[in-house]
Amino acid sequence: MASHLSGGKVNVALVQELARKELLQLLGKCDGSKAMVWDESLAGPVGLVAKYDLLRENEVLKMFPLRAGHLPPSPVKNIIFITRPQLHLMDLVADNIYGEERSGGCRKEFHLFFVPRKSLLCEKWLKNRGVYGNFALIEEFACDLFPFDSDLMSMELESAFKEYYLENDPTCLYQAAQAIMTLQSLFGVIPRVSGKGPAAKQVWDLMCRMARAKQDTERPGLIPQSQIDHLLLVDRGVDLLSPLATQLTYEGLIDEIFEINNTTAQFPSERFTKSDDVPTNLSDERKQIILNSGEELFAEIRDKNFNAVGPALSRKAKLISSQFEERHGEKTVQEIKQFVARLPHMMATKASLATHTTIAELIKEVTDSNSFLESLQTEQEFMNGIDTDKVHPYIEDCIAQKEPLIKVLRLVCMQSVTNSGLKPKVLEHYKREIIQTYGFQHILSLTGLENVGLIKLQQGARQYTILRKTLRLTVEDGSEITPTDISYVHSVYAPLSVRLAQYLVRPNGWKGLQDVLGLLPGPTIEESQSLPAGHGPRRGSISSQ
Enumerate binding residues for another protein (CB under 8 A).
Answer: 85, 87-88, 117, 119-121, 124, 167-171, 173-174, 177, 202, 205-206, 209, 212-213, 215-217, 370, 393, 396-397, 399-402, 428, 431-433, 435-441, 443-444, 447
Element (H, E) at 34: strand 34-38
Give the chain's length: 545
Cis before 65 (ω within 30): no
**Closest CB to another protein among residues 334, 401:** 401
Comparing CB distances to another protein, the nearer of 49 and 206 is: 206
Nearer to another protein, 217 or 332 (CB): 217
Q: Which of 342, 402 has the CB closer to another protein?
A: 402
Question: How deeply is 486 buried, as exposed, middle or buried, from its count of CB atoms within 10 A (0-12, 13-18, 19+)?
Answer: middle
Nearest Cα neighbor of 76 from 42, 30, 113 is 30
The nearer residue to another protein, 29 or 127, going by C-beta atoms, is 127
Question: Half-sphere exposure (CA, 13 Å, Cβ side) for 256?
Answer: 22
d(C-alpha 47, C-alpha 42), whole Å? 8
Amino acid residing at 284: D
DSSP, residue by residue, 170-201: THHHHHHHHHHHHHHHHH---SEEEEESHHHH
Q: Which is nearer to another protein, 183 or 297 (CB)?
A: 183
- Least spacing, CB of residue 316 vs another protein, in Å: 23
List Cα–Cα distances, 400 to 69, 190, 375, 396, 425, in angstroms. 43, 52, 15, 6, 19
CB of 466: closest distance to another protein in angstroms?
Answer: 30
C-alpha 360/C-alpha 392 separation (Å) is: 31
- Kindly state the smallest distance separating residue 174's Cβ from another protein, in Å: 4
- How far, in Å, CA of 213 to CA of 207, rounded? 10
Closest contact distance (angstroms) between CB of 142 and another protein is 14
Nearer to another protein, 326 or 396 (CB): 396
Cβ-based nearer residue to another protein, 181 or 297 = 181
Check if the beta carbon of residue 301 is closer than 8 Å to that of residue 313.
yes
Q: Least separation, in Å, of the C-beta of 211 and another protein?
A: 11
Backbone angles phi, psi at 457, to 5 degrees: -85, 150
Shortest separation between residue 354's beta carbon and another protein, angstroms? 21
Give the residue with the Cβ less far from another protein, 214 or 327. 214
Residue 11 Cβ vs another protein, minimum distance, rounded to whole Å: 29
Name the strands in the sheet holding 109-114, side by side, starting at the edge strand that comes first in the sequence. 60-65, 34-38, 78-83, 109-114, 135-140
- State the minimum distance, in angstroms, from the CB of residue 286 to another protein: 27
